[in-house]
Structure 1
């Protein structure tokens, strides 16, 4: 169910962050895309907790991506259960930037897509 995992307190805190990038949820859907840095993401789900458009889900990093990472990143990923954020509904993103400021690892950025 969309929004079922949302944490309104975290979302309010992220919305008040002066470093929040994006278009404050006013961008056309699919004009921006959230990009997750797998070397930083620990799958803590804060992106899910604040996203009003249900863009994210947490899953296990694929074996091929995992093997391509450095030894130290693989150690960190293993310690966190090899969990990472995925963006299966990136086309719903409206660039509110809440995920960017809520991510404790600073592993998410918004990328504007060419028209």
Structure 2
């Protein structure tokens, strides 16, 4: 997949941010690979996030190694959409920041 340059991205940083649905995310890391702004990281699901899941999704997390995508650098997102297209679980959406 071809990387997009900064001039091809749709927004200035901080206008749009990726949102990860933890019920869908399996922590495969495709978002980390394609993101030109280093917005994502894959790590163990936080205890509070895990407790917020229902039983079925807790079991799913255990099967998939308790790994999910987080967005510690969401403020750097330029809305290129590569993460949305790359996610095999369709767990990422882009949303306007508050």
Q: Does TM, scored on the shorter chain, surpass 0.5? A: yes
The number of equivalent residue pairs is 95
State the partner residue of 2:65. Answer: 81
State the partner residue of 2:31. Answer: 47
Matches of 1:67 and 1:76, distance apart in 2: 13
CA RMSD of aligned residues (A): 1.6
Q: Which runs of 4+ in 1 moved over 6 A?
A: none
Query: TM-score w.r.t. structure 2 length?
Result: 0.89
Query: TM-score w.r.t. structure 1 length?
Result: 0.77
**Ranges in structure 1 where 5+ consecutive residues have no aligned partner:** 1-10, 16-23
Within a 5 Å distance, the mapping from 1:1-80 to structure 2 comes to 11-12=1-2, 24-80=8-64
**Ranges in structure 2 where 5+ consecutive residues have no aligned partner:** none
